[in-house]
Amino acid sequence: MASRGLQEQSIQEMIAKSRNKKGKKLMEKAIPMALFIAAAISVLTTFGIVFTLIFETFEFFQRVSITDYLFGTEWLPFSGKEPLYGVLPLILGTLKVTLLAVLVAVPFGLGAAIFLSEYASDKTRRMVKPVLEVLAGVPTIVYGFFALTFVTPLLQTLIPSLKIFNALSPGIVVGIMILPMIASMSEDAMSSVPNSIREGAMALGATKFEVAIKVVLPAALSGIVASTVLAISRAIGETMIVSLAGGSTPKFDFGVTDSIQTMTAYIVQVSTGDAGYGTTIYYSIYAVGFTLFIFTLLMNLLAQYISKRFREEY
C-alpha cells in the first residue's frame, strides 16, 4: 500500500512538472511575440507619422512653389490679397531662440556637470542632481508663463525697448529648460572616466581644475557633445514657451527685442482653428512640420555620429 501511494505521488509530481514545462514553453513563445508586437507598433507609428507629413507636404507644394517656400523672406499666410509662404522668417525665429538657449544652457550646464563630477561630495551629488532633474519634469507651459510674467518684466527694467513679446525672454527660459539635460548627461559622461586617469594627471602635478578641464573634459567629449546636440534638438522643437512669450510676428531680421514666430508657434496658431480643412494654410502646417522634422532628424543623426566618432573606451 505504501509503495502504491509513493507511485501515485510520483506520477502526480511528473504530471505537475510536465504541466509547468508546457506553461513555460507557452510563456517563452508568447513573450517574444508580445515584444515583437510592441516594437512593430512603434515602427509602424513612426512610418505613419512620416508618411502623413510627406503626403500632406506634397499637397502643399502642389499649390505653392518650393522655391518660394525655401527662399522667401516673408511669411504672410493670412494676407487677403496675396498670401506669402516664405519659411525663412520662421526658421530664423526658431534659430534665434535656439541660439539664445544654447548660450544659457551650455556654460551653466557644463559648469554644473564639472562641479557634480569633480568637486561635489557624494552627499551633495545625491542632493543636487535630483533637483536638477526635477527641472526637466516641469511642464513647458509653466516655463512659458514664467517667461511671460517674470523674465520679460525683469528684462524690461534692463532693456526699456524690449517688447512684451520678444525672442530674448523665451530664449533664456528655453535655455533653463534644457540645462538639466546637458548637466545630467555630461555629468554621467564625466563620471564614467576612470579615476586612474585623474590620479595619473595629479601625480604629474596638475591641479584639480586642470584635471577637470584638460583631462576629464576631453575624455568625456563624445558624451558632452552628444548631450548638447540632443538639447539643441529639444530647443528647436519647443512649443509652449515660444508660443506664450515669443509672440506671433514672423520677421526676417536678427533682432531679439521684438516679437517673433517660430515654426512650432505657427503650427499651434493654425491648429487652434485659424484655417479651414483643405485650405493652403491648413496644408502649410504640414510643410512647416516636415521642415521641423528634418531639423530634429539631422540633429539626432549628428548626435549619434559624434557619440560614435569620438567615443573613448576604457
Written as tens digits, the pLDDT of the chain (314 aa) is: 445 554 555 655 655 555 556 556 667 777 788 888 888 888 888 888 888 888 888 888 888 888 888 888 888 887 767 888 888 999 998 999 999 999 999 999 998 888 888 888 888 888 888 888 787 778 888 898 999 899 899 998 888 888 888 889 999 999 999 998 888 888 888 888 888 888 888 888 888 888 888 888 888 888 888 888 888 888 888 888 888 888 888 888 888 888 888 888 888 888 776 667 778 888 888 899 899 888 888 887 877 777 777 666 55
Residues 174 and 256: their CA atoms lie apart, in Å, by 14
Q: Do 90 and 247 meet the contact criterion of CB atoms below 8 Å apart? A: no
What are the grid coordinates assigned to 312, written together? 573613448
DSSP state of 283: H
Beta strands in 198-263 (DSSP E): none
Whole-model pTM over 0.95: no
Task: Count Cβ neighbours within 10 Å for each residue of 32-71 and write b for 16 or more, e otherwise.
Answer: eeeeeeeeeeeeeeeeeeeeebeebbeebeeebeeeebee
For residues 70, 71, 72, 78, the Cα torsion angle rounded to the nearest 10 degrees is 0
